[in-house]
Amino acid sequence: MRIPEQLLQPETIGPLIVTPAFFFTIFASIAVILWFRSRSERARHAMLSLLVERGQPVPPELFAKARTPASDLRRGVVLVALGVGVALSLLIFGLGRVAGFGLIPALTGVGYLVVWRIETKR
């Protein structure tokens, strides 16, 4: 079977490789995050079952999800930086019309920073 000459052109082969690679990268990143989260949950459940088997009291901290104001600060800073980076990279590559998509993570990060500020004032 012979590959058509049009498919071997750089203008055609670039999108054929880059587009699936882009979506695979997103999928792989989410899969790795979920795998690590599942792994830590399994370890926590194993510890809980071990405590129950031995008749030890189970500390209530093991049931509560730890959400500290510092995690809101970190998420906020990361998301604002991500949004600014996306917007700037789109502007640099001449895609100014879609640079506003960088506002989505940036404003989400601003929301986290507002929550962090409110929580630390209490």
Report pTM. 0.53
Tell me the two tokens of residue 89: 């990279």
Nearest Cα neighbor of 75 from 108, 118, 122 is 108
CA distance 107 to 76: 9
Classify burial at 68, counting beta carbons within 10 Å of its beta carbon; exposed 0-12, middle 13-18, buried 19 or more: exposed
pLDDT-derived band at 11, boundaries 50, 70, 90: confident
Reported as a single tens digit per residue, the pLDDT across 13-42 is 777 788 889 899 999 999 999 999 999 889
Residue type, 89: S
CB atoms within 10 A of CB 12: 13
* Each residue's pLDDT tens digit, 50-70: 999 999 988 887 777 666 777
Q: What would the pLDDT profile of 77-110 be if each residue is shown by its tens digit? A: 999 999 999 999 999 999 889 999 999 999 999 9
In the chain, DSSP finds a helix count (H) and a strand count (E) of 3, 0
pLDDT at 113 over 90: yes
The gap between the terminal CA atoms of the chain, to the nearest Å, is 70
